[in-house]
Amino acid sequence: MLQLIEAIRSGNIADFKGEGLKVYPASLTTAGGTTIAIVRTTEGKKLIAVGEGELFDQLQGEEAAAGAKVAPLSHANRLTLNRFLPYTAPQAFGTKVATMGLGDRLGIASPGHIQTLRGKDIRPVLAQQSIRELALTGRTYEDVLDAAAYAVLQEGYKDGYGADGDHLKKEADIEYALRLGFTMLTLDCSEYIDNTIDPLSEAEVDAKYAALPAELRSHYETRYLASAPNVPGASLNYTALALKKDVLIYDAAINFMEAIYRRYIESLDREVDFEISIDETATPTSPEAHYLVANELQARGVRIFSMAPRFCGEFQKGIDYIGDIAQFERELASHAAIAVHFGYKLSIHSGSDKFSVFPLIGQYTNGLFHIKTAGTNWLEAVRVVTKVNPDLYRRMHQYALDHFEEATAYYHVTTDLSVIAPLGEVSDAQLPEYMNENNARQLLHITYGLLLQAKNADGSLTFADEFFQTLAEQEDVFAAGLRSHIGRHLELLGK
């Protein structure tokens, strides 16, 4: 350790070799009179600080030598780093650059994500998690931000990253994310979208619509039936029945969007990328419905960063697009044109692995989009386990099969367990092929929370400790897998 401290003091750690130590040369940085670097020890990653001054004094750690500290990668130390090294804090990006949400459910994928996106015309939203994901992984938003910030420091990445409070519905959760400094908020409006309307008969729709206040009905009819909207590149054709349905489905949600904007976004003294999610609906979002929501928000002075409609077809977890690609292209053209018309980015949710439609998304958005990924990063970690720890994988796979139905309460998938090759018929060398088969991918995808939190009778974790130890030992292999897999996403998106 003393030799490492001297190497950091001299600023020359690229060639340092030490038993039980791995240094991250890109993390070496100096602020004031303090030089710091991240090092992996036999006890995990640590922050080594050498020198003097405010940063040195404020970092919490143990003295290792005169003018040297070994500090944990703690929440308190992350906050200190944010103050002295602003690039380690998240930022908002606005609407002028493409962004990619990279939900790191494990807290260890961000180095690989940074290596993948570095130097490309797209910015990473490294800290992206929903409250559901936090509950399933036993993490907090503090944990999510800490992991992203330390990854940024480790990789010496200074081009900026975002932090997204994803799919938030409750005001307490919105307050929580914003209080911690999250720079993006994805508002999930699903609880205010009426999914009972679309299946109704015309007479039933008419009756429900007639019960609305006359002033409200007149407002919508004047704005959408009196004259056709002019949006270059979009095909919009309102009918009386379709408008009635859209008003019944979305009016309460629009009020909710405005209320959250007024209460939490408009009054902030910093920029926040405010995304509207209307993708959690029973039926696809028509271009007409998309335009109506966007037009109403603009009329009310609500500024948004992006909007996520529900596209036709299916955007299921961890597999390619399912549906009519020609229809998707036609509707995508209108959705993208609407986003351009109102000055925000089109957002694509459950965007992992949708390789067949990525070129279309890049084309019709002119490369200006927001796309969310998450579970595919977990699957790349599982792929590593299939290769280097087959015994662990086999136990995880069987547990996932045994608890699959429990996991379907959280995610919609059309997985057919009967076509997944039985474990007993698959050799260790063939295990990685599970990660190339859609049904097996979804099996492991949606059971991540159950696997990570499973416990033995004595209270010890059944899989998680061994899983994380395996990934720590295979850190470079995991990062290489992410560079390849997420890199393929970017290439097909035109980045």
Name residue 87's amino acid: Y
Q: Say if CB 328 and CB 312 are below 8 A apart.
A: yes
Q: Which of 65, 73, 135 lies closest to 105 in space, CA to CA?
A: 135
Burial (0-12, 13-18, 19+ Cβ within 10 Å), 119? exposed
Residue ranges of E strands in 279-376? 306-309, 345-348, 369-373
Q: Tokens 């037009």 identify what position?
A: 295
Identify the pLDDT of residue 252.
98
Distance, CA of 329 to CA of 313 (rounded, Å): 11
Query: Which pTM was predicted?
Result: 0.97
Helix 375-388 × helix 390-402 angle, to 10°? 130
DSSP result, 379-402: HHHHHHHHHH-HHHHHHHHHHHHH
Listed in sequence order, the residues at least 6 apart from 464 whose beta carbon sits closer than 8 Å to its beta carbon are 451, 452, 453, 454
Q: In 419-463, where does DSSP find H-type helix?
A: 438-446, 448-453
DSSP three-state, residue 214 = helix
Distance, CA of 236 to CA of 220 (rounded, Å): 15
Given its phi and psi angles, is residue 276 left (phi above 0), alpha (psi -120 to 50 degrees) or beta? beta
User: Exposed e or buried b for every residue in 6-33, given b needs 16+ CB within 10 A?
Assistant: ebbbeeebeebeeeebebbebbbbebee
Identify the pLDDT of residue 193.
97
pLDDT digits (tens, 9 = 90+) for 448-459: 999 999 999 999
Distance, CA of 282 to CA of 76 (rounded, Å): 43
pLDDT, averaged per 10 consecutive residues of the chain (495 residues), comes to 93 91 97 97 96 97 96 98 98 98 97 98 98 96 98 98 98 98 98 96 98 98 94 96 98 98 97 96 93 98 98 95 98 98 98 98 98 96 98 98 94 94 98 98 97 98 98 98 98 98
Distance, CA of 409 to CA of 339 (rounded, Å): 33
Length of the chain: 495
For residue 8, what are its two tokens?
């950091």
Distance, CA of 443 to CA of 400 (rounded, Å): 7
Name residue 145's amino acid: L
DSSP three-state, residue 369 = strand
Q: Residue 187 is inside which H or E element, if any?
A: strand 184-188
Query: Which positions are catalytic?
Result: 166, 275
Cα-Cα end-to-end distance for the chain? 42
Listed in sequence order, the residues at least 6 apart from 225 whose beta carbon sits closer than 8 Å to its beta carbon are 238, 240, 243
Identify the pLDDT of residue 281.
84
Distance, CA of 358 to CA of 364 (rounded, Å): 10
Distance, CA of 370 to CA of 351 (rounded, Å): 10
Q: In 59-140, where does DSSP find H-type helix?
A: 75-84, 110-117, 131-137
